[in-house]
Every structure is written in structure tokens, then in C-alpha cells.
Structure 1
Amino acid sequence: MRTTRKVSVWPVGLVGGRRYERPIVEKGKVVGWYTGWRAGRPFAIDMAGFAVNLQVILSNPKAVFRRHGSQPGMQESDFLRQITTMEELEPKANNCTKVLVWHTRTEKVNLANEPKYHADSVKIEV
């Protein structure tokens, strides 16, 4: 996170009904999303999966993270669209191939959206 120039992204474990969700990276650029829920979102990412450089926030004073007013699951996309583009995202965690952050709750993990067979292009240990 410390090296984030604008907006950096990484995988998150135990989120979206899957063992993990992650940005898909090709040649050092984010090109899509490995997610179990609403894959068509502009930024199909959990809020635990990105960091924003403070200077970006300060230079975009009208950018807001809406608690209310966004569709379910769209808060992250609605916020990130105001400050960046997919092409500008900075993949971390070894080009988004390592889970270093977990979305945890004090309840049993729900893996309802986990595919029966490994569907990701890389093997990630969670």
C-alpha cells in the first residue's frame, strides 16, 4: 500500500461466496475480475482489495464513497469511477496472485459461489 501512486489493487480471501476474489492481471495491467458476484461491475472488487493514495483523494474533493444511494455491491465501483480508470490500477501482491488480505466475519464462511472445479487461471493458496 505504501507504494501506491494512485489506486492499487490486490486479491481478497473469503469474500463474495468464494475462497478469494481478485483482479485478473496480464502484462502488469488489470484486465478483468475473478469474482463470484456481479462480475459485470466496472470495478468488481471488495473494499478490502484496494488502496487510494491520499493525494488522489485531496485532488478529487467531490469524490465520495456513498453509504446510501448506490446499488448493492456498487459502492466500490461508484467511488473508484470518480478517481481512476481500470488502465490506471496498480496490481500488488505479486501481480494479484497472492492473498494477503482476508474479508473476515464472526460467522461461518459461506462459499456458495465457489466453482466446483478450479476456474481461475492461476493457483492461489488461501
Structure 2
Amino acid sequence: MRKVKRVGVWPVGIVGGMRVEMPLVTDGKESEILKYFTTRDELEPLAENCTKVYVWHTRTQKPSIVNPQKLKRPLVSYDHIEV
């Protein structure tokens, strides 16, 4: 993160009841939501062009997952990302 010059984006795991939440990146450019906050040219996809989910913890406690079965059966394909 020290090398980020403008806005760094990367996937995060188990957020908001989803298995993974991430920007959709094509040719190094993010898809949709962040356009409301900044321009695409300012975004820097991290985690190998948003293809990997790295682990980072702020607390050492078990996650409170409401519906773990739902996380096991994703509605979308994650073929392009290492989870």
C-alpha cells in the first residue's frame, strides 16, 4: 500500500454476507461503482490485478457468518480469481 499513488482497489473476503467482494477489472480498469467517487484513471488494481484475495485481519476473533451454506454456493463464477 505504500506504493499506491491515488486510489488502490483490491478484493476482500467475507464482507456483507458475500464470499468475496471485489471490483470487476478489465485490462487494469475497474467496472462500475467507484465511478461515483473517483475516475477510472485514478484507480490502481492491487492483488495482482484483483485476481487474488489476500488475508488481512484487524481483530483476532471468529467471524460471525449468518448463512455459511450460502457462501459455499456462489451465484457467480470465481474462475478468474484465487479465493
Matched, 1:124 2:82: yes
Could you list the runs of 5+ residues in structure 1 that have no partner in the other structure? Answer: 33-41, 44-76
- Counterpart residue number, 1:14: 14
Aligned positions of 1:1-126 closer than 5 A: 1-32=1-32, 42-43=33-34, 81=37, 84-102=38-56, 106-111=62-67, 114=71, 116-120=73-77, 122-125=80-83
TM-score w.r.t. structure 2 length?
0.68
Counterparts in 2 of 1:102 and 1:109: CA distance versus 1, 3 Å: farther
Tell me the alpha carbon deviations over residues 50-84 of structure 1, each in whole angstroms, 9 at most, x when there is no partner.
xxxxxxxxxxxxxxxxxxxxxxxxxxx7xxx2xx3
Q: 1:22 to 1:111 in 2, by over 3 A?
A: farther
Aligned-pair identity (%):
41
Residue identity opposite 1:13 in structure 2? G
RMSD: 2.8
Higher relative contact order (CA 8 A, sep 6+): 1
Aligned length: 78
Structure 2 gap segments, 5+ residues each: none
